[in-house]
Amino acid sequence: MISEKMQKALNDQIQAEMFSSYLYLSMSACFNSVNMDGMAQWMKVQSREENGHAMKIYSYLIERGGKVELQAIEKPQTTWATPLDAFKDAYKHELYITGRINDLVKLAYDEGDIATLTFLQWFVTEQVEEEANASKIVAMLEMIGESKNGLFMMDHNLGKRE
């Protein structure tokens, strides 16, 4: 059985992951609106992954005899001036999520909740990848600068994500 405090924290994380999914879908729609369909595809896949993160916690809570309580999801930003701005925000958001995961790990540790501690290891590893992916794209976009050719190539490459 999971503690009330841990249950509340995991429910809050489901909301945060759902918001991540919503935010990236909003970025995807923004990219589509300016015909950057490759970047839109990348963000759509990312949005789906975030939904998967939320569902992983959802299933875990149920498995531990906890109660899932879904919460309202805030409206995300809808426009970004440039692809660089959007990916910078995505990177910033991932840093925020990493902080949240670390807090969950600390809570599980303090509570001596070994099962949740073990469960959260997957998220710790995942965040390393999520941060690396976003920051690499930011670095590449910074390198490309105003180059239309560079942006075109980048859009094409990011569109290969499945």
Q: Rule CB under 6 A: which residues touch ligand OFO? A: 17, 20, 50, 53, 94, 97, 130
What Å distances lie between residue 12 and 5, 36, 93, 112, 119, CA to CA?
11, 33, 16, 20, 16
Rank residues 94 and 113 by Cβ distance to ligand OFO and give the closer one: 94
Residues 124, 98: Cα–Cα separation, whole Å = 7
Amino acid identity at 133: N
- Least distance in Å: CB of 150 to ligand OFO? 26
Residues 83, 85: Cα–Cα separation, whole Å = 5
- Least distance in Å: CB of 90 to ligand OFO? 8
- Least distance in Å: CB of 138 to ligand OFO? 15
Rank residues 54 and 107 by Cβ distance to ligand OFO and give the closer one: 54
Rank residues 108 and 151 by Cβ distance to ligand OFO and give the closer one: 108
State which residue has the least CB distance to ligand OFO.
20
Helix (H) or strand (E) holding 36: none
